[in-house]
Chains A and B, each alone.
Chain A
Amino acid sequence: MGSSEHVGEQLGDHLFRRESGRIVATLTRIFGVQNLALAEDVVQDAFCRALEVWKFRGVPENPSAWLMVTAKHRALDVLRRERTARTFAPELGRFLESEWTLSPAVEENFAPHAIKDDQLRMMFSCCHPRLPEEAQVALMLHILCGFTVDEVAAAFVSSHAAMEKRITRAKKILAGSKKLFDIADARDFAARLPAVHRALYLLFNEGYHGASAESAVRAELCREAMRLAAPLREHPLAATPATFALSALMSLHAARLPARLDSSGELRSLGDQDRSQWDAHLVGEGQKLLDLSASGPELTEYHLEAAIAWAHAVAPRAEDTDWGLIVSLYDKLMAIRPSPVVALNRAIAIAQRNGPERGLEEIRAIANSDRLASYPFYHAALGEFELRAGRADAAREHFRAALALARSPMERTFLSHRLAACTPAVTAAL
């Protein structure tokens, strides 16, 4: 029995899911991207084997290595059997001609130095310019994070059918691209890097602001985005100021995740959170990363968003927030990446600094504000300002509109409480 006693410690959370991404990335390099589906099958087989064997004999000392070796053997079997029936990556193809060279060739391809950059290569490949941004993000979650189609659909609050279509189409484009992205080409690398940043940013945001009702799912998406960003900071071509800024913004936002829900599971707005629950370690990390991002002339939206998150993170109490600084950062953000949501957040910061009437003016001045019409927190912001300006009836209308647009039970509860706040509390007798 001894070997199965340390289940928890030996098997990290989500080990299978994460190894899935790692191994698929390596196998795809070896088999060729056109054999993506084959790589996925081999990995699936390796997991089935692990499940069968480990449950009886316990988790091996190095589960990751065990899985990779098992996948490798399975891959060799497939190669032997299907040598003539498939086309493989050209560099592997010539080894496949003789049994003599097959094993050493595959061994070489699985060596640690060879698999080091596989995840990065796959990440860049997923951000193929022919794929829309949402498809890039879905593909990364599916291939690199080991989410099934159902799990990706749940994360994006999409139907299974719609997500399956999106992922199948994206895989077809990826598999049809003939080869994986060449991360050794510095020019191509620099050209593709912003798309990778953007995809990771969207993945993180889906977790942070997305519609998923399940807070565990949201935290998991944030964690996956942070995990995928880590190797970027270690690669000489990817460790750019923008990469550090993106990482900083993720850490600083993630630090607040534990306080977003209170003990009864209700959503808490930023000003209303128990700041002692913010993750001090992540704030520290974020601050370090923000320092590292401050080199070179480039000022990206990630720098500005990280700086805004930092300004919140360092305020011990909500009333200590430096709203002047935050407004000026939003001004800069509007200059380089304007969007109605950024404009809304800027208006909220202005209301904090100059009062609700100014906030309302700014909201009314937002260009393309029709694009915010379906966003519950647009109406909630209007309600908040009207309420603070003492116009409870107007506020009530806005909160009602917000409530009708709520995307999850959590948002619904939060907004109905705000709606209730428009009616002065009556102290009930008994």
Chain B
Amino acid sequence: MSEFVYLYRGGQTNRSPEAMQQTMQKWMAWFKDLGDKGHVKSVGQPLEHAGKLVRGKQKTVTDGPFAEAKDVVGGYSLIEARDLDQAVELSKGCPIFEVEGAVEVRPVMKM
């Protein structure tokens, strides 16, 4: 098994309370399903959308966001899968696609 990081990007949040609750329940069901099949190393964490960016020799500090709203990383998970193909396949169940978001699948480098 290899490890992969899912980076969750974008996904519209400004919807009705009912729709948001349904989305959340789908996320939980998806994580549970992945977990039951032994693919979840760590569910991971949500990330604040705002923050600071420190850059360059001058260590210049600027305010986030660092990307357009549709590309902002809102959280990550640590996934175990056979190979990149399987990790990609598994990511397709993510409810983020229903709300115009994206999942970036990145293999963790092996020693």
Interface positions of A (Cβ within 8 A of B): 1, 4-5, 7-8, 11, 14-17, 19-20, 44, 47-48, 50-59, 146-148, 150-151
* Chain B positions within 8 Å of A48 at CB level: 13-14, 20
Contact with A along B6-22 (1 / 0, CB 8 A): 00000001111110110
* Chain B positions within 8 Å of A57 at CB level: 43, 46
Q: Are A50 and B46 in contact (CB under 8 A)?
A: no
Task: Output the nearest chain A residue to B47 by Cβ-Cβ distance.
Answer: A52
User: How long is the Cα–Cα vector from A141 to B40 in the complex, in angstroms?
Assistant: 40
Q: Are B44 and A56 in contact (CB under 8 A)?
A: yes
How many residues from B make CB contacts under 8 Å with A? 25
User: How long is the Cα–Cα vector from A17 to B22 in the complex, in angstroms?
Assistant: 11
Q: Are B43 and A14 in contact (CB under 8 A)?
A: no
Q: Are B18 and A151 in contact (CB under 8 A)?
A: yes
> Can you list 17 A-B pairs with a CB-CB distance of less than 8 A?
A8-B25, A11-B21, A44-B14, A48-B13, A51-B24, A51-B27, A52-B74, A55-B24, A55-B27, A55-B46, A56-B46, A146-B16, A146-B17, A148-B15, A148-B16, A148-B17, A151-B18
* Chain A positions within 8 Å of B45 at CB level: 56
Closest CB-CB distance, A250 to chain B, in whole Å? Answer: 22
Instruction: Tell yes or no: B29 within 8 A of A by CB.
Output: yes
Q: Are B31 and A1 in contact (CB under 8 A)?
A: yes
Task: Output the nearest chain A residue to B12 by Cβ-Cβ distance.
Answer: A48
User: How long is the Cα–Cα vector from A54 to B13 in the complex, in angstroms?
Assistant: 14
- Give the A-B contact count at a CB cut-off of 8 A: 79
User: How long is the Cα–Cα vector from A14 to B24 in the complex, in angstroms?
Assistant: 12
Interface positions of B (Cβ within 8 A of A): 13-18, 20-21, 23-25, 27-29, 31-32, 35, 40, 43-46, 74-75, 77
* Chain B positions within 8 Å of A47 at CB level: 17, 20
Task: Output the nearest chain B residue to A43 by Cβ-Cβ distance.
Answer: B17
Given A56-B46, A56-B75, A58-B28, are A17 and B21 neighbors across the interface (CB < 8 Å)?
yes
Given A14-B18, A20-B17, are A4 and B23 neighbors across the interface (CB < 8 Å)?
no
Q: Are A51 and B23 in contact (CB under 8 A)?
A: yes
User: How long is the Cα–Cα vector from A137 to B20 in the complex, in angstroms?
Assistant: 24
* Chain A positions within 8 Å of B74 at CB level: 52
User: How long is the Cα–Cα vector from A5 to B34 in the complex, in angstroms?
Assistant: 12
Given A16-B21, A151-B18, are A7 and B13 neighbors across the interface (CB < 8 Å)?
no
Closest CB-CB distance, B75 to chain A, in whole Å? Answer: 6
User: How long is the Cα–Cα vector from A48 to B31 in the complex, in angstroms?
Assistant: 19
User: How long is the Cα–Cα vector from A51 to B13 in the complex, in angstroms?
Assistant: 8
Which of the residues B16, B27, B46 comes within 8 Å of A151, measured between beta carbons? B16
User: How long is the Cα–Cα vector from A44 to B14 in the complex, in angstroms?
Assistant: 7
Q: Are A17 and B24 in contact (CB under 8 A)?
A: no
Q: Are B16 and A5 in contact (CB under 8 A)?
A: no
Q: Are B32 and A5 in contact (CB under 8 A)?
A: yes
* Chain B positions within 8 Å of A8 at CB level: 25
Known: A1-B32, A59-B28. 18 other contacts (CB 8 A): A4-B32, A7-B25, A11-B21, A11-B25, A15-B21, A19-B17, A52-B75, A54-B28, A55-B24, A56-B44, A56-B75, A58-B28, A146-B17, A146-B18, A147-B16, A148-B15, A148-B17, A150-B16
Q: Are B21 and A4 in contact (CB under 8 A)?
A: no
* Chain B positions within 8 Å of A55 at CB level: 24, 27-28, 31, 46, 75
Closest CB-CB distance, A332 to chain B, in whole Å? Answer: 41
Q: Are B17 and A17 in contact (CB under 8 A)?
A: yes
Closest CB-CB distance, A141 to chain B, in whole Å? Answer: 12
* Chain A positions within 8 Å of B29 at CB level: 7
User: How long is the Cα–Cα vector from A148 to B44 in the complex, in angstroms?
Assistant: 32
* Chain B positions within 8 Å of A53 at CB level: 46
Across the A-B interface, the 4 shortest Cβ-Cβ residue pairs: A55-B27, A16-B17, A148-B16, A16-B21
The CB with the most chain A CB atoms within 10 A, among B27, B28, B35, B74, is that of: B28
Given A51-B13, A52-B46, A56-B46, are A4 and B18 neighbors across the interface (CB < 8 Å)?
no
Task: Output the nearest chain A residue to B16 by Cβ-Cβ distance.
Answer: A148
* Chain A positions within 8 Å of B20 at CB level: 16, 47-48, 50-51
Q: Are B17 and A4 in contact (CB under 8 A)?
A: no
User: How long is the Cα–Cα vector from A56 to B14 in the complex, in angstroms?
Assistant: 19
Closest CB-CB distance, A51 to chain B, in whole Å? Answer: 5
Closest CB-CB distance, A371 to chain B, in whole Å? Answer: 35
Given A48-B13, A53-B46, A146-B16, are A14 and B21 neighbors across the interface (CB < 8 Å)?
yes
